[in-house]
């Protein structure tokens, strides 16, 4: 029962984080085409003021709940080594923890990423994690 609740919380938080990345890449970045530079700056800051209150915490909840679920489903390593499921799950966990580490550095320590400053890279990782989550069960 606890696992199911954590799983639902995880899904909601991933939707919030990934949804923001999607909107930022495909819509907010296009506002420059129809607004002046000053209007774009004001509109983006008005939106980001509210985003900063929710999205970073959604990422942290997604990472924390993902780490809990990892401990529940990873299972014991057999004598043959890691199963395909465990390998893909480990890759997903690595990518998720990397996103979480990046988010913690930005939110709490003000450390901006040196490379991949645009949201396209984190969004790509979210998409890869989603595809990996489907591939785990094949």
pLDDT of residue 108: 87
Share of the chain above pLDDT 90, in %: 74
79 lies in which domain range? Answer: 2-135
Give the Å distances, CA to CA, from 119 to 17, 35, 61, 91: 11, 21, 19, 21
Take residue 29 and report the two structure tokens written for it: 């970045």
pLDDT of 84 reads 94
Q: What is the pLDDT of residue 115?
A: 67
What is the pLDDT of the chain when averaged over all its residues? 92
Total domains present in the chain:
1
pLDDT band at 116 (very low <50, low <70, confident <90, very high): low
- Contacts of residue 59, defined as CB under 8 A and 6 or more positions apart, other chains included, come to 13, 17, 99, 100, 103
Q: 136: pLDDT confidence band, cut at 50, 70 and 90?
A: confident
Q: Assess whether pLDDT exceeds 90 at residue 14.
A: yes
Tens digits of residue pLDDT in 83-111: 999 999 999 999 999 999 998 888 888 88
Q: What is the pLDDT of residue 32?
A: 87
pLDDT tens digits for range 67-84: 999 999 998 999 999 999
Kindly state the average pLDDT of the residues 14-39: 92
CB 20 within 8 A of CB 126: no
Give pLDDT, residue 29: 86
Q: How is the chain split among helix, strand and coil, in percent rounded to 5?
A: 80, 0, 20
What digits encode the pLDDT tens for the residues 123-134? 999 999 999 999
């Amino acid at each position: 029962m606890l696992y199911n609740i954590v799983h639902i919380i995880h899904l909601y938080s991933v939707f919030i984080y990934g949804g923001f990345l999607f909107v930022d890449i495909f819509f907010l970045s296009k506002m420059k085409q129809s607004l002046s530079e000053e209007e774009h700056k004001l509109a983006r800051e008005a939106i980001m003021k509210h985003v900063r209150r929710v999205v970073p915490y959604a990422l942290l909840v997604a990472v924390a709940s993902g780490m809990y679920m990892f401990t529940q489903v990873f299972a014991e390593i057999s004598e043959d080594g890691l199963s395909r499921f465990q390998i893909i799950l480990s890759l997903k966990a690595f990518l998720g923890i990397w996103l979480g580490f990046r988010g913690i550095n930005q939110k709490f320590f003000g450390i901006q990423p040196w490379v991949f400053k645009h949201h396209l890279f984190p969004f790509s990782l979210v998409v890869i994690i989603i595809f990996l989550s489907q591939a785990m069960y094949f």
